[in-house]
Structure 1
Amino acid sequence: MNKQERTWEKTGFVFVNGAGLESRIWSKVVEGLDHPYLLVEFPHRNGSVESRKDLSMMDYVAHMKRQVDEWGTRKFVIVAHSLGGVLALKLAYEVSDRLAGFVAVGAAIPENGGSFLSVLPFPKRILMSAILRKIGTKPPASAIRSGLCNDLSSDQAAKIVQGFIPEAVRVYTDQVDASVPIVPKLYVKLTHDKEFSPSLQNNMISNLSPQSVRILETGHLPMLSDPDGLRFVLEDFLANM
């Protein structure tokens, strides 16, 4: 069996990042990963805010699916973070014939037919709806630092703030219209997360109904603050599916 055939037969990972981030956020996690992996990109990542503003959720999902379709791995586990959980549910539906498992890392998992906004507590949902209408999808630097970067180094936080990419509003507001996939599922709960509180993550766990829950004592970006721990969790999940 040649290398291409081995890659096709070995189960891999498809990584879906959260809002404002780029796929390279997973770089430290996939270093040394003994499985094929694909870091999917969102559309128009190098374009202007204007080039993305009219995109729908399905535009994002279609762009990711094209990358998966071109990837030379037959079966894979989708690993989704934060808002990427909403996109990943629809992607999982679109590639169900190749889906082996689903991992949500501090991810938004709405009830069937819900949107990202629908997972938020009512007061925060109303506030965020107003913010999206008035100032768009890029939070102030202070909010990014306190919410996403609370346990990161100052250098790491600076890079996240500087590189934050505003998404299309409809990624937050469009309904998913896809149920939770019927495959082995894992939720990775982040106990020091200031963006998605532990109680909010408990709601996401209830919506996902995973076979298992693993704990990482990190903030919202464990792929930066504890990449080795996250890699171990993913490899253990795949080994024991």
Structure 2
Amino acid sequence: MHDREAGLRFAAPNGKVLHHIVRPGDGRPVVFVNSLGTDLRIWQAVVAGLDPTRPLLLWDKRGHGLSDEGATNMSGLAADLAGLMDLYGYSRTLVCGVSVGGMIAQRLAHDRPDLVGGLLLSNTGHRIGDAATWNARIETVERDGIAAISEPILERWLSPDYRAAHPEQLAGWRNMLTRTPAAGYAATCRAIRDADLTDAAKAIAVPTLCLAGERDGATPPALVRELAELIPGAEYRCLDGVGHLPCIEAPEAVVEMLQDLLDRLG
């Protein structure tokens, strides 16, 4: 994505500067929401597969990429996204979120249903992990930095086949992860730890596809299927041999699912 095609911008709808890319165009916008420890670059291959006239919004949540840090919770993260969407006059968008991005999307659909026309919830759940696990991760990151836990995270993110076949890309994604500010990473861990979106998921009333990766070590297929069963009318799909980030490993499949949802939404 070049600046002449999509503008790299900064805005502070809720007092914290948020880095984002917005691309004008025709039709229903697609909004992308990143996972923990990543920035908007994880969607590049997906964006490249979409119609270049499709309007898009990509953003870095607090404490990630080029956005400001700041304490938050799941409602606050959804409010940040809503503020950006309001800035550009978006409504009834297709929101595509992976991992915590999928949790933010669920919260957004609950808090601002006017902004959401459809959902692709990738490798996520209504709850992810438990308090003890998140507290241990937060303690390690704040004491030793993200590099101390980067290898097991990458093993959950990406399948063994991908890691073996793409060592340069793996090194790049490791750099993205380890260069995330520890305070921003820990703040998002707390938001995930404290979020229970069971009721929000049950209330979703837009076309929704829940996507799992068969080799996902962070949000395994059973968790994603459980989410799909909570959401009225949701579809569940699982990609064979894929880890936690299909947007990196299987972008063509993600594009196909987005296009199918866009067609259904009209």
TM-score, length basis structure 2: 0.73
Can you give the 5+ residue segments of structure 2 that lack an aligned partner in the other structure?
A: 1-23
Question: Which segment drifts farther, 21-30 or 87-96?
Answer: 87-96
The answer on whether the counterparts of 1:144 and 1:161 sit within 8 Å (CA) in structure 2 is no
- The match for 2:195 is 175
- The match for 1:37 is 56
- The match for 1:215 is 238
SS of the residue corresponding to residue 114 of structure 2 reads coil
Residues 1:101 and 1:59: Cα distance change in structure 2 (over 3 Å): same
Asked which structure has the greater RCO (Cα within 8 Å, sep 6+), the reply is 1
The answer on whether the counterparts of 2:108 and 2:116 sit within 8 Å (CA) in structure 1 is no
SS of the residue corresponding to residue 55 of structure 1 reads coil
- The match for 2:170 is 157
Q: Deviations over 1:152-192 (max 9, x none)?
A: 42122211211112421432233356612211111112112
TM-score, length basis structure 1: 0.79
- The match for 1:131 is 137
Residues 1:158 and 1:9: Cα distance change in structure 2 (over 3 Å): closer
Can you give the 5+ residue segments of structure 1 that lack an aligned partner in the other structure?
A: 1-6, 111-118
Indicate whether 1:76 and 2:93 are aligned.
yes
The answer on whether the counterparts of 1:78 and 1:92 sit within 8 Å (CA) in structure 2 is no
The answer on whether the counterparts of 1:84 and 1:108 sit within 8 Å (CA) in structure 2 is no
- The match for 1:97 is 114
How many residue pairs match? The answer is 222
**Partners of 1:213 and 1:26 in 2: CA distance:** 21
Indicate whether 1:188 and 2:214 are aligned.
no
Cα RMSD after superposing both structures:
2.7
Shift of residue 199, structure 1, vs aligned partner: 2.3
Question: Which segment drifts farther, 176-185 or 34-43?
Answer: 176-185
**Partners of 2:233 and 2:170 in 1: CA distance:** 31
Residues 1:8 and 1:70: Cα distance change in structure 2 (over 3 Å): farther
The answer on whether the counterparts of 1:57 and 1:171 sit within 8 Å (CA) in structure 2 is yes
The answer on whether the counterparts of 1:25 and 1:223 sit within 8 Å (CA) in structure 2 is yes
- The match for 1:116 is none
